[in-house]
Amino acid sequence: MRRIVSCLALLLALATAGYAAQGGNNKEPLKIKSDTLNTDNEKKTATFEGKVVARQGDMTLYTDRLVVTYSGPNNEVSQVEAFGNVRIVQEERQATGAHGIYDPKQARIILDGNPKVVSGEDVVTGRIITYYVNEQKSVVTSGPKERVEAVIHPGGKNVGAKP
């Protein structure tokens, strides 16, 4: 039992620690490409649609629709919300889900809609995957129908490597 818990903790750390780079990246410019853009001055939102690709530092997000919310006198990005076929890639790590929210102020990424984190051959799934960027930790939450599942390969080639 202790071994399973240790393995799970290791996997979670490995599977999501890659996004720790986000802590260093969140002052990097956020660059977005898409087919179309709609802005709403009242709501302070910019909605990118169609083959959206967003890059910040070495992290790249792909999705169908991305809503950037900004606020304050300097128009700081306060939230980035992705809808549909969300895929976050950093080096060999990849997180997917139907919906994702990045909150730069709280340095937190929340993925839901069958979220999955894949690092090499290791896979974690649950109802919601939340990654706290500054603490470099993640919480995988189970739901009534979606239990947390982890597939780990202790002897795999990624052991000891920081995903």
Partner 1 sequence: MHNFNNFKRFLGVLAVVASLLVIATIVFRMQQEVAPKLSVRKLPLQVDVSLHKFHYTETKQGIKRWELTADRADYNKQADISYLSGVQMVVHGAGGLGELLITADRGEYNNGTRDIALIGNVRGKSNKGYGFSAPRVNYVAARSMLQTSERARLTDIGSELEGTGMEYYTQTRKFRLLKDVSAVYRQGGK
Part of the chain binding partner 1 (CB under 8 A), chosen from 27-35, 85-93, 113-121, 136-144: 27-35
Among the listed residues 55, 80, 57, the one whose alpha carbon sits nearest the alpha carbon of residue 70? 80
- By the 8 A CB rule, do 7 and 154 touch? yes
- Which of the 8 DSSP states describes residue 131? E
Residue-by-residue DSSP string for 92-121: TEEEEEEEEEEETTTTEEEEESS-EEEETT
Which of 6-14, 23-31, 89-97, 141-149 is the region at the interface with partner 1 (rule: CB under 8 A)?
Answer: 23-31
Q: Does 16 bind partner 1 (CB under 8 A)?
A: no
Q: Which range, of 8-16, 67-75, 91-99, 123-131, touches partner 1 by CB under 8 A?
A: 67-75
Q: Is 75 in the site for partner 1 (CB under 8 A)?
A: yes
Closest CA to 30 of 72, 68, 63: 68
Cα 9-131-103 angle, rounded to 5 deg = 170
DSSP state of 29: P
Residue 138's alpha-carbon distances to 19, 34, 105, in angstroms, are 10, 29, 17
Give yes or no for residue 77 binding partner 1 (CB under 8 A).
Answer: yes
Binding mask 102-121 for partner 1 (x = CB under 8 A): --x-----------------
Among 48, 102, 131, 132, binds partner 1 (CB under 8 A): 48
Stretch that binds partner 1, among 5-13, 21-29, 82-90, 130-138 (CB under 8 A): 21-29
One residue of 1, 3, 5, 73 binding partner 1 per CB under 8 A? 73
Q: Cβ of residue 44: shortest distance to partner 1, in angstroms?
A: 11
Interface contacts to partner 1, rule CB under 8 A: 26-42, 46, 48, 68, 70, 72-77, 104
